[in-house]
Homo-oligomer: A and B are copies of this chain.
Amino acid sequence: MSSAKQNHAILSERLKSCDVRPTPQREVVLKVILGKRDHPTADEIFARVKSSMPTISLATVYNCLDTLVQCGLIRQVNLERAPTRYCPNLDQHAHFHDEATGEIHDVHLPEDLMIRLKEVLPAGFDARSIDLTFRGKAAPTLTHGTN
């Protein structure tokens, strides 16, 4: 079995396990996002996807993204007043938004902190997800985390 075929099988399996139809469009959108550890916008994803599937439409990219987020196969990140970005990293992590460069860095969150975070919620609040975003500036010289 070729590597490409195997890849397809893996992606297809992932989609099926979420009870969604493993269409070629969904697979290629997912593949593109997982293929790079950055935080692309819908437009950027559209551009990347078009090189392997030139006929795909932007509406489909949006549809696929919605589906993938629903499934929990990717995450959604919102910066203030900027187009939504998507994140392939499903490990528990926070985002650091470098205000000087606009870059987003993933920051690992230890398990005990996650537990501590959930403890601050009053009784009756049931959190399905937690978004933690830092804003500020990062030291320019060192290379930290992913962008």
Please give the residue numbers on chain A whose beta carbons come within 8 Å of chain B beta carbons, in ascending order: 76, 78-81, 84, 94, 96, 99, 105, 107-110, 113, 116-117, 120-139, 142, 144-145
Contacts and interface: CB of A to CB of B under 8 A. Distances in A.
7 contacts: A78-B80, A81-B84, A94-B120, A109-B120, A121-B134, A123-B142, A125-B139
Contact of A134 (B80, B130, B145): B130
Contacts of A135: 127-131
B84 A127 contact: no
Question: For the complex formed by this chain, how many copies does it contain in all?
Answer: 2
B124 A113 contact: no
A121 B142 contact: no
A143 to B, nearest CB: 10
Contact of A131 (B113, B124, B129, B133): B133
Contacts of A142: 123-124
A87 to B, nearest CB: 12
Contact of A132 (B79, B117, B136): B117
Contacts of A80: 76, 78, 84
The 3 closest A-B pairs by CB, nearest first: A124-B139, A128-B136, A127-B134
A145 B131 contact: no
A73 B142 CA distance: 33
Contacts of A96: 121, 125, 127
